[in-house]
Amino acid sequence: MMLETIAERLSLKCKCCWENLKNDVTGGYAGDLLSDVMANSAAGNIWVTRQVHQNIVAVAALKEHAAIVIVQGATPEKETLDKATKEGIPILVADLGEFEVVGRLYQLLYPSQG
Amino acid sequence: MTLAEVRDLLDAELIVGQERLELEVHTAFGADLMSDVLAFARSGCLLITGLANLQAVRTAYALDIAAIVICRGKALTDTFVETARELCIPILWTPLIMFETCGRLYRAGITGCVREIGIQEKTGVGY
Amino acid sequence: MSDTDYMRHLQGRYEVHGRDFVDAGLVSSQIKKGLKSQGIHEDIIRRIAVIAFEAEVNIISYATHGVISYYLLPDSIIFEAIDEGQGIEDIELALQEGYSTADDSIREMGFGAGMGLANIKKSSDIFEITSELGKGTRVKSTIMLNGK
């Protein structure tokens, strides 16, 4: 599913790399421990987290995530946005908490049968 | 939804709290950051986390959280289980990742719970 | 009544050591157990437990050593955390949600999102903080019982 569609349906605010909103999202990952995300997430994932520190960009770039979604209306640090712009990783912000954002994303990515 | 139903939905094992299988839960909070749980989670919710350390149990105790779901199949230490038992916090353990765990619970009708930092409580959307 | 008069009402006193992450939250749990046995209202206990937890994590993350005490007065509970450590350079900044000087080791333990002091302040009815750079920090929280 195209990132842009997800951003629209979940009212996410894009903070950088608008040109990459055409990225294809193939799955989702949620987590706030960088070591865990590094070990277990996959390329094409939309990564949902509450971390705003610039190290999230390095992880997302390395794992080739489609985008990072920062939840709970948290503000990404300036260094984080600068780095994301350089790496071409879109960062989007959601007002809702991690559970609600993941729940809605899950419904979008995996519509229930019947 | 009862803890027994949560267990079945998440292909989980109930590690602590066999006597609490009928406990009802309606809301959940997902996070690996306990500072966020302490700031935003409300009492009575399910805490979904991949942080299987004593801080998670003590955070749940501090906030009167109904039960903890440990996701990503994180290994549990004896001390973790003993502390949960001592503080009477039911523990469910699932091999699912947090994304799948939250997704299945959301689809089953569980809603997010977010408390405004401080005393007033705000209900999650759709609650 | 002098401003140190509350100290006569000491209920518990705990030592906390810097970098001792395994024990983070232990004081919070102990204070909560203590207050439960006193029959204090659960909403009040929850607020104190949160304040204690955040204070412990702050001492463990940023100080070498600290002491946490709480006092049960007829109309309020007073919570106090005094540490020896690096202190806080800009208290106003440190109180902002999301502001943090935590390193990766703190974040991997599930803390350091910059909510701690803000959460202590908002969970308190009266919040006082003083800090001296290179010396340490003192946090004092008062929670009114309001007949609860």
Q: What confidence tens digit (pLDDT) does each residue in A8-26 have?
A: 999 999 999 999 999 999 9
Which domains are delineated in chain B? 3-112 (3.40.1390.20)
Please give the pLDDT value at position B116: 52
Please give the pLDDT value at position C148: 59
Phi, then psi, of C145 in degrees rounded to 5: -85, -25
Is residue A80 in some structural domain? yes
Residue C57 above 60 pLDDT?
yes
Domain count for chain A, please give it: 1
DSSP letter assigned to residue B114: B
Q: Which residue of B has its CA nearest to A113?
A: B107
Given pLDDT bands bounded at 50, 70 and 90, which one contains residue C147? low
Domain span holding position A76 = 3-109
Q: Residue A32 is part of a domain; what is its CATH number?
A: 3.40.1390.20
Is residue A7 in some structural domain? yes
Partners of A52 on chain C (C-beta within 8 Å) are 98
Beta strands (DSSP E) in A24-101 are: 27-30, 45-49, 67-70, 91-93
- Report the predicted TM-score, pTM, of the whole model to 2 decimal places: 0.92
Q: Which residue has the tokens 């009802």?
A: B24
When CB atoms are compared, the residue of A27, A97, A104 closest to B114 is A97
Partners of A59 on chain C (C-beta within 8 Å) are none
Is residue A114 in some structural domain? no
Please give the pLDDT value at position A78: 94
Please give the pLDDT value at position C111: 84
Residue numbers in chain B where pLDDT is lower than 70: 115-127
Is-contact B30 A30, C-beta < 8 A?
yes
Please give the pLDDT value at position C140: 98
**Ramachandran sector of residue A91 (left: φ over 0; alpha: ψ -120 to 50; beta: rest):** beta
Token reading at C70: 């709480």
* B56 at C interface, C-beta within 8 A: yes
Q: What is the mean pLDDT of residues C44-55?
A: 96
Q: Which residue of C has its CA nearest to A74?
A: C98
Q: What is the distance between the alpha carbons of residues A37 and B40, in angstroms, rounded to a whole number?
A: 22
Give the residue among C28, C15, C29, C12 at the shortest CA–CA distance from C83: C15
Please give the pLDDT value at position C107: 79
Determine the topology of domain C9-144 in CATH: Heat Shock Protein 90 (3.30.565)
Given pLDDT bands bounded at 50, 70 and 90, which one contains residue C115? confident
Residue C2 above 70 pLDDT?
no
N-to-C CA span, chain C: 24
Q: What is the mean pLDDT of residues A49-75?
A: 95
| More confident call, C61 vs A112 | C61
Domains of chain C: which residue ranges?
A: 9-144
Is-contact B98 A30, C-beta < 8 A?
yes
